[in-house]
């Protein structure tokens, strides 16, 4: 029996987030759009087995995505400053949420994928927590086909969120040569954000590809993956990150796509070095993981055929390279105005390195192939995004390295430096380690004695900065104790 109270709540929420009552007419213009699909996997069987839960689950599924990704007026000011991209609701189709983002420069693409990944990481658990709280002590009561007194466990063990991201250049000009079009339907369809719709070859290909999305992972289209890879080629740090975080997990023939030639399924993940540890025992049987199943984890990690670099040759082979280069050129020509000044002087870049201590007073050290031992580093541009030290460092290390750290609200600098290669200023701070580095081959914990004795190559002033950090950390600890005891 369906819980009509929950259905009423769900209906009210849909009306709110669809924003169909707005009187403003959207401005339709040609452009490059990023599309994001969130699909609640195994939702049909969940509705049947847990009729008193599903309405609450769906309501929170919609709400958490819109809030977590800052869709339309859920968008936080900080996020808007960071990318100048506004995520908007395209459609709600049953158990699928579709968003779109107008992309104006190629550098925004990786930021979009990374931020979606951060939200996806804890999304289902947040949904489960909220549903469990709403259900209270009632649990599923006796109306479920299967016993499910532990509401959170039922949700986490049954459902998953499949995420797909793809790109398309859409034109408002409906001439015969338009590959994709954006338009405003004369009769708006229900649950459509700004009453805009998108049609075309690349839109269809994205939906075809979404059929191969898997639980709690992100897959991206070949064009999107290639643009992110191409944009990173002039920065060694970014190039390594992109190469590490994007892999081709399968080659699949899709009906009507690429003249039935196989399409690379590209997955974004920050832990490919230990990917087998995050897969369920039966997931390798899915078509999406064919390259891993056929070659084994070790070969998959090292085989160039499964590297993001390989997409460059693939696009050339299927005669999509010229089109991709044209789109790249268009995005690169977009004027990226950092601040409204009469001159065009380049913004000053700031590098932030964190000397990270764990509870045992060991230092977290990053082994870079070229530079040797270092602390890791994030980059910021003055005048953009969050201006709080704690948030900058926490978000930066999480997005770049997949590592959780904590920095004081007003940290004491260990040292400053100048990075001549990119004309950047640098600062080194102390941070506390929380999670994420244990399974990463390029990160290790060192004692100060090990750092003093090692003969491995390292960045300038590596040992001196560690020694200075230890001394400052000790002074700060004494100050905290004195304040605590008066």
Residues in Cβ contact with 441 at an 8 Å cutoff, skipping those fewer than 6 apart: 273
Token pair 């707005």: residue: 22
What is the tens place of the pLDDT at every residue in 307-360? 999 999 999 999 999 999 999 998 887 644 433 433 445 567 889 999 999 999
Residues in Cβ contact with 177 at an 8 Å cutoff, skipping those fewer than 6 apart: none
Tokens representing 219 are 């897959």
In this structure, the strands spanning 160-170 and 218-220 are: parallel
Q: How many CB atoms lie within 10 A of CB 150?
A: 13
Domains 4-327 and 349-484 share a fold: no
Most confident of 61-70, 133-142, 305-314, 431-440: 305-314
pLDDT band at residue 7, thresholds of 50, 70 and 90?
very low
Q: Choose the CATH number for 349-484 among 1.10.10.10, 3.90.79.10, 3.20.20.140, 3.30.360.10.
A: 3.90.79.10
Comparing 416 with 193, which gets the higher pLDDT?
Answer: 416
Judged against a pLDDT cut of 90, whether residue 261 lies above it is answered with yes
In the three-class reduction of DSSP (H, G, I as helix; E, B as strand; rest coil), residue 170 is classed as strand
pLDDT for 29 equals 67
pLDDT for 1 equals 42
Per-domain residue ranges of the chain: 4-327, 349-484
* Biggest CA-to-CA distance, the chain: 78
pLDDT band at residue 483, thresholds of 50, 70 and 90?
low
pLDDT for 147 equals 52
Euclidean distance between CA atoms 10 and 15, whole angstroms:
9
pLDDT for 30 equals 78
What is the average pLDDT value for the chain, to the nearest integer? Answer: 83
Given this structure, which CATH class describes domain 4-327? alpha beta
In the three-class reduction of DSSP (H, G, I as helix; E, B as strand; rest coil), residue 419 is classed as strand
Judged against a pLDDT cut of 70, whether residue 474 lies above it is answered with yes
Ramachandran class of 259: left when φ > 0, alpha when ψ lies in -120 to 50, beta otherwise: left
**Residue 193, Cβ density class (10 Å: 0-12 exposed, 13-18 middle, ≥19 buried):** buried
What is the tens place of the pLDDT at every residue in 381-407? 765 555 789 989 998 898 888 899 999
Token pair 């259900």: residue: 135
Comparing 319 with 18, which gets the higher pLDDT?
Answer: 319
pLDDT band at residue 85, thresholds of 50, 70 and 90?
low
The torsion angle over the Cα atoms of residues 465, 467, 468 and 470, rounded to 10 degrees, is 120
pLDDT band at residue 138, thresholds of 50, 70 and 90?
low
Concatenating the DSSP letter of every residue in 90-128 gives EEEETTEEEEEEEE-STTHHHHHHHHHHHHHHTHHHHHH
pLDDT for 423 equals 77
What is the tens place of the pLDDT at every residue in 66-76? 888 888 645 54
C-beta separation of 26 from 90 below 8 A: no
Predicted TM-score (pTM) of the model is 0.73
* For residues 407-432, average pLDDT: 89
* For residues 240-257, average pLDDT: 94
């Amino acid at each position: 029996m369906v819980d009509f109270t929950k259905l009423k709540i769900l209906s009210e929420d849909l009306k709110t987030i669809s924003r169909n009552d707005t009187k403003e007419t959207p401005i339709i213009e040609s452009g490059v759009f990023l599309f994001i699909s969130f699909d609640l996997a195994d939702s049909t069987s969940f509705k049947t087995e847990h009729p008193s839960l599903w309405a609450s689950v769906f309501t929170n599924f919609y709400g958490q995505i819109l809030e977590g990704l800052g869709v339309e007026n859920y968008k936080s000011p900080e996020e808007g400053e960071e990318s100048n991209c506004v995520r908007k609701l395209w459609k709600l189709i049953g158990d699928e949420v579709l968003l779109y983002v107008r992309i104006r420069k190629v550098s925004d693409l990786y930021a979009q994928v990374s931020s979606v990944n951060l939200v996806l990481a804890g999304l289902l658990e947040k949904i489960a927590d909220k549903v469990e709280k709403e259900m209270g002590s009632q649990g599923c009561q006796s109306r479920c086909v299967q016993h499910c007194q532990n509401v959170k466990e039922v949700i986490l063990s049954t459902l998953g969120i499949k995420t797909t991201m793809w790109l398309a250049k859409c034109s408002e000009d409906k001439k015969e040569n338009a590959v994709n079009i954006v338009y405003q339907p004369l009769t708006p369809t229900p649950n459509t954000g700004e009453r805009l719709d998108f049609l075309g070859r690349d839109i269809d290909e994205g939906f075809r590809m979404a059929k191969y999305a898997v639980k709690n992972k992100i897959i991206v289209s070949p064009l999107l993956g290639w643009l992110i890879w191409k944009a990173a080629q002039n920065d060694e740090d970014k190039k390594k990150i992109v190469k590490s975080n994007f892999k081709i997990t399968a080659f699949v023939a899709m009906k009507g796509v690429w003249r039935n030639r196989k399409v690379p399924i590209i997955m974004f993940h920050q832990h490919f070095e230990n990917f087998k540890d995050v897969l369920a025992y039966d997931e390798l049987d899915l078509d999406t993981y064919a390259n891993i199943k056929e070659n084994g984890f070790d070969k998959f990690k090292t085989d160039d055929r499964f590297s993001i670099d390989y997409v460059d040759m693939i696009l050339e082979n299927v005669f999509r390279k010229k089109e991709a280069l044209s789109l790249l050129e268009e995005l690169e020509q977009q004027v990226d105005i950092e601040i409204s000044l009469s001159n065009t002087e380049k913004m000053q870049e700031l590098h932030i390195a964190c000397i990270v201590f764990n509870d045992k007073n060991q230092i977290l050290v990053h082994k870079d192939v070229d530079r040797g031992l270092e602390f890791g580093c994030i980059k910021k541009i003055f005048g953009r995004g969050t201006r709080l030290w704690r948030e900058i460092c926490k978000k930066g290390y999480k997005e770049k390295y997949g590592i959780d750290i904590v920095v004081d609200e007003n940290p004491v600098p260990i040292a400053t430096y100048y990075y001549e290669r990119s004309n950047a200023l640098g600062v080194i701070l102390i941070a506390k380690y929380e999670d994420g580095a244990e399974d990463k081959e390029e990160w290790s914990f060192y004692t100060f004695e090990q750092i003093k004795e090692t003969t491995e190559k390292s960045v300038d002033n590596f040992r001196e900065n560690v020694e200075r950090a230890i001394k400052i950390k000790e002074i700060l600890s004494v100050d905290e104790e004195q304040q605590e005891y008066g």
